[in-house]
């Protein structure tokens, strides 16, 4: 049995009141998807149900099955469209996903994660996954590296655990990580995926043509980004793998949508769409291709060790941040006490500001700190287990929330003592 599938993934840049030409672009995206070329569609940053319904209404004749993943404050922004019936859906939200007070970044409010649908297509069980990892805002000073690495491990584990009975796995999404980055390697090697663009590109020039963000061809790429990196970067992917009795081959992978929306001066999005054509072959006796399992396992273990180091560094940094917030809360409390009986112009305003800062510092040092520690520690322990080594009592013990000294610091030292970067 043999069949061919055409899939496309696109970050639609659909932020309400922020994204330029949003309605016109969403309409154009819907028109392209309604052409009947695609079997499965993965969309990210569809932040409003209005845009989802607009695309759904236009494509229902050729992509009659779809699912929108709700999560967080404004939704996950993820949706999947399918030519074949959807049997099961599931969404997994990242345990760590940015900071609530970094409003200018907004990742936390999006409730990002990984969405999965299981479809039946010509007798094949196909698992489709779409994801959107935390953005990289500063490559040299990446404060979200540990978050993205944990998300990448979550992603890979989720795929591995939910695809055991699938004939085919197809992944489409904006992973916000470039080829060679730790998060990219963690996803590809832990989940044993094949990057369609990498498979189909025989030269560096061909691979460069697959760049998807801040490219010269895109109307929304800024001049400043083009000066520093005129070729853009590749952060949007189609990846795949076959089950034990299935071979999957990438026939082609390209960013083939027009540079501009027909009749307009702007692009479909600030990202490029990635289109891949896959050939699926099912055999009764299974695949005759044997992967170099030992070499692949060694490579995966090296990546996991590197990821654990990133988690250790993040946990050490979190302890320092906690102490800073505790000192800030003490300072705000003292200032509130000193100014409580003083009367001068704007005194009430000053006390409101101090009270807000006190609340913020206590919240960050007590509640948010513990949430972030738990999220990163959970990912780290999962990596240790994936490596096949036992978790030591020191690694498994959680830090206490007892302030800046005493048993809290002792417990934290026990968690972070092995492999921590000072």
Q: How many CB atoms are located within 10 Å of the residue 370 CB?
A: 16
Q: Is 271 a catalytic residue?
A: yes
Closest CA to 76 of 98, 109, 51: 109
CA distances from 272 to 46, 59, 204, 221, 234 (A): 15, 20, 18, 11, 9
Angle between helices 49-59 and 22-33 (to 10 degrees): 30
Q: How far apart are CA 227 and CA 38, in angstroms?
A: 35
| SS3 state of residue 74 | coil
Residues whose CB falls within 8 Å of the CB of residue 170, separated by 6 or more in sequence, listed in order: 5, 7, 40, 126, 127, 128, 129, 238, 239, 240, 278
Q: How far apart are CA 233 and CA 226, in angstroms?
A: 11
Report residue 45: phi and psi, to 5°.
Answer: 55, 40
Which tokens is 102 given? Answer: 């970094």
The catalytic position among 67, 92, 134, 271 is 271
Which tokens is 166 given? Answer: 């699938």
Instruction: For residue 208, count CB atoms less than 10 angstroms from its CB and return exposed for 0-12, middle for 13-18, buried for 19 or more.
Output: middle
Residues whose CB falls within 8 Å of the CB of residue 297, separated by 6 or more in sequence, listed in order: none
Q: Which residue has the tokens 């409730």?
A: 111
| SS3 state of residue 72 | coil
Closest CA to 111 of 87, 78, 144: 78
Helix (H) and strand (E) counts in the chain: 13, 12
Closest CA to 166 of 200, 119, 224, 206: 119
Q: How far apart are CA 279 and CA 277, in angstroms?
A: 7
Extended strands (E) in 229-357: 236-242, 246-254, 274-282
Give me the active site residues, please. Answer: 271
């Amino acid at each position: 049995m043999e069949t061919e599938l055409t899939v496309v993934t696109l970050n639609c840049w659909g932020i309400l009141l922020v994204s330029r030409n949003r309605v016109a672009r969403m309409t154009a995206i819907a028109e392209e998807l309604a052409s009947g070329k695609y079997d499965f569609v993965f969309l990210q940053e569809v932040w409003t149900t209005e845009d989802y319904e607009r695309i759904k209404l236009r494509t229902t004749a050729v992509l009659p099955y779809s699912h929108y993943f709700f999560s967080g404050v404004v939704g996950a922004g993820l949706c999947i469209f399918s030519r074949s019936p959807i049997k099961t859906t599931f969404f997994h939200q990242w345990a760590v996903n940015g900071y609530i007070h970094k409003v200018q970044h907004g990742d936390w409010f999006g409730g990002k994660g990984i969405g999965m649908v299981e479809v039946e297509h010509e007798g094949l069980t196909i698992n489709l996954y779409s994801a959107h990892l935390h953005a990289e805002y500063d490559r040299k000073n990446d404060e979200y590296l540990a978050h993205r690495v944990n998300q990448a491990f979550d992603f890979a584990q989720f795929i591995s655990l939910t695809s055991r009975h699938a004939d085919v796995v197809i992944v489409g999404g904006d992973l916000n990580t470039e080829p060679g980055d730790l998060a990219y390697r963690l996803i590809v090697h832990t989940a044993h995926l094949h990057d369609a663009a990498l498979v189909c590109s025989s030269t560096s020039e061909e691979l460069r043509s697959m760049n998807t963000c801040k490219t010269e061809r895109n109307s929304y790429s800024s001049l400043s980004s083009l000066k520093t990196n005129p070729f853009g970067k590749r952060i949007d992917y189609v990846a795949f793998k076959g089950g034990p009795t299935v071979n999957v081959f990438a026939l082609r992978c390209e960013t083939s949508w027009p540079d501009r929306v027909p009749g307009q001066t702007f692009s479909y999005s600030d990202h490029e769409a990635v289109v891949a054509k896959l050939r699926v072959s099912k055999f009764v006796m299974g695949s005759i291709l044997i992967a170099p399992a030992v070499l692949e396992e060694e490579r995966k273990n090296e990546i996991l060790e590197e990821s654990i180091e990133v988690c250790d560094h993040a946990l050490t940094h979190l302890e320092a941040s906690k102490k800073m917030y505790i000192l800030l809360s003490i300072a705000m409390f003292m200032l509130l006490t000193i100014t409580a009986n003083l009367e001068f112009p704007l005194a009430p305003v000053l006390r409101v500001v101090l009270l807000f800062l006190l609340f913020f510092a206590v919240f960050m040092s007590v509640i948010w700190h513990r949430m972030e520690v738990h999220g990163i520690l959970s990912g780290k322990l999962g990596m240790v287990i994936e490596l096949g080594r036992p978790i030591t009592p020191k690694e498994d013990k959680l830090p206490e929330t007892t302030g800046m000294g005493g048993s809290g610091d002792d417990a934290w030292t026990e968690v972070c003592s092995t492999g921590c970067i000072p």
